Amino acid sequence: MTAFQRIQQWRVRRILRKYPIEESVWRATLEALPWLPNLDTIAQARLRDYATLFLADKIIVGAQGYEVPAGLRVAIAVQACLLVLFSNLDAYRGFRSIIVYADEYIVAHTSMDDAGIVHARRDIRAGEAWREGPVVLAASAILHDGRGDGMNIVIHEFAHQLDMQNGDANGFPPLPKDIAVTQWTQHFTRAYADFCRRVDGEEHTALDPYGSEAPEEFFAVMCEAFFLIPATLNAEYPNIFQLLKRFFRFDPLHTDTTIPAYT
């Protein structure tokens, strides 16, 4: 073990000892997220450790005078860390700030068309993610998530963060060694084309139609479905479910499997 690794281990132990999540807040957070996978005691302990380290590393601030409650901070950390629970928390080292609005917020945009005319528009958003931060979230959306529709703003935006580890968000995140680039490309390209066809044809889909907006949104929406409505995702796009199971190193339909060691 190198000196740097020893320092890192000391730092982790110090944070876990000095800044633990209060038991009452932890229990209340889990109760408020009934959709969470039924993790065994080892995985749940790791999730708590990861959430503690996440909160120590990130700056979570309220926008426009909003004060972010302690429970909501923990809820953000828990849901974000679920995506990397069986891999590596270092995936989120590229940014520091998380901005939380009380409700959906307005973003103004300008664009120029081919004729040189500038157009202005205002979008209402519940979240967004930038490669080097911040991640922006609406508290109202976080509190609404998990009601059976397969939508989750925290998972969605942090899926974008995973996607942007190797550049701009494009639905092609860094892959583990056991997933071939050609395999990922083939299955996601086919599934995305099929999903866009269904949405464009005004077919009702159990998965969020927002996934048809772009390949990166399709990836984020599939990640939401993987954790919240895995049986539905497996029924509609089994190849995507299998790829995400290997990507996240976790099977939400069989949570009694042995979890990998820390990496």
> Could you state, in order of their start, the residue ranges of all structural domains in the chain?
3-248
Q: Which residue has the higher pLDDT, 6 or 123?
A: 123
Mean pLDDT of the chain: 89
Structure tokens belonging to residue 48: 């708590």
Q: Which residues contact 18 (CB under 8 A, 6 or more apart)?
A: none
Distance CA 55, CA 36 (A): 19
Q: Which residues, in sequence order, are bridge partners of residue 111? A: 119
Which 3-state string (H, E, C) describes 104-167?
CEEEEEEEECCCCCEEEEEEEECEEECCCCCEEEEHHHHHHCCCCCCCCHHHHHHHHHHHHHHC
Share of the chain above pLDDT 90, in %: 70
Residue 69 has pLDDT above 80, yes or no: yes
Q: Whole-prediction pTM value?
A: 0.89
Q: Which residue has the higher pLDDT, 192 or 117?
A: 192
Residue 157 has pLDDT above 90, yes or no: yes
- With cut-offs at 50, 70 and 90, classify the pLDDT of residue 7: low
- With cut-offs at 50, 70 and 90, classify the pLDDT of residue 224: very high
- With cut-offs at 50, 70 and 90, classify the pLDDT of residue 120: low
3-248 folds as: Collagenase (Catalytic Domain) (3.40.390)
Residue 183 has pLDDT above 70, yes or no: yes
Q: Which residues contact 85 (CB under 8 A, 6 or more apart)?
A: 43, 46, 47, 50, 250, 259
Residue 249 has pLDDT above 70, yes or no: yes
Q: Which residues, in sequence order, are bridge partners of residue 215? A: none
* Mean pLDDT score, 101-118: 74
Check residue 262 and give its pLDDT. 41
Lowest-pLDDT choice from 25-34, 116-125, 143-152: 116-125
Check residue 263 and give its pLDDT. 38
Check residue 60 and give its pLDDT. 97
Distance CA 194, CA 153 (A): 24
